[in-house]
Amino acid sequence: METTQKRLLLINPNTTVAVTQRLTAFLQDAFPNSMHLDAVTANFGARYIACEASHAVAAHAALDSWAQYVASAGAPDGVLIGCFGDPGLFALRQSSACPVTGLAEASFMEAAAHGAFAVVTGGQRWKPMLSRLAHNLGFGQQLHHIEIVQPTGAQLMADPTMALACLGAACDAAQAKGVQAIIIGGAGLAGYAQLLQARSAVPLIDSAAAGVRVLLGGGLPEATGRNGFDADWGTVSAPMQALKIR
């Protein structure tokens, strides 16, 4: 009897298709033959999430992307939010019948297994946002330091040579804080942890790779067992309206 492939959904809540393409290319080889990766890009919001307002809109965009996917392809077997900041994580987890995680949660889980950890990422406004997320996910004590590099995630993705030098120096500074692991966080930074590992005495964790490992490996909060929203919607997209639980 032929076995049906499980479908995992990667949602890029940024509107930049190049980010989706980078993540898909990087993650494709991480999936076993029994899994199929579908990737979607948000239809609205910021080109690259970098502040509280763009993060808030991205949460709505992630929910809408998921609802549109369910309407066209059926419910997936797992969802990975392709943003280091996990917009919409808690709402998607509450509304979905399958496991859901994001790049930040997954890499926090892996880093915390080593002990105290640091985060290296781009964009000054991410620092308080990531601190709050770590606290809400139960990793506030283990997250000892956030090293912010001056270029934004979009700028780092656009200039690999500059990104290597900048991220390498940031990892050196983070390691000096006495941590046992360092996360290189950001959808546009997929692959840099592996390139920089040789210069680091502690494990460098790629947030995108961690997302796949955690999603496939289990240990996430249990799914609700149903797909749908409890909200009494006013005006949202037709796919979101169709998933309202009556």
SS3 at position 88: coil
**Domain residues of the chain, as ranges?**
6-102+215-242, 104-213
pLDDT tens digits, one per residue of 203-234: 999 999 999 999 999 889 888 778 999 999 99
Mean per-residue pLDDT over the chain, rounded: 93
Q: Please indicate, yes or no, whether the overall pTM of this predicted structure exceeds 0.85.
A: yes
Q: Which fold has domain 104-213?
A: Rossmann fold (3.40.50)
pLDDT tens digits, one per residue of 165-198: 999 999 999 999 999 999 999 999 999 999 999 9
State the pLDDT at residue 3: 56
The string of DSSP codes covering 154-196 is: HHHHH-HHHHHHHHHHHHHHHHTTT-SEEEE--GGGTTHHHHH
Q: Which fold has domain 6-102+215-242?
A: Rossmann fold (3.40.50)
Domain pair 6-102+215-242 / 104-213, same fold: yes
Q: Exposure of 42 by Cβ count < 10 A (0-12 exposed, 13-18 middle, 19+ buried)?
A: buried
State the pLDDT at residue 1: 44
d(CA 82, CA 46): 14
Judge whether residue 119 has pLDDT over 80: yes
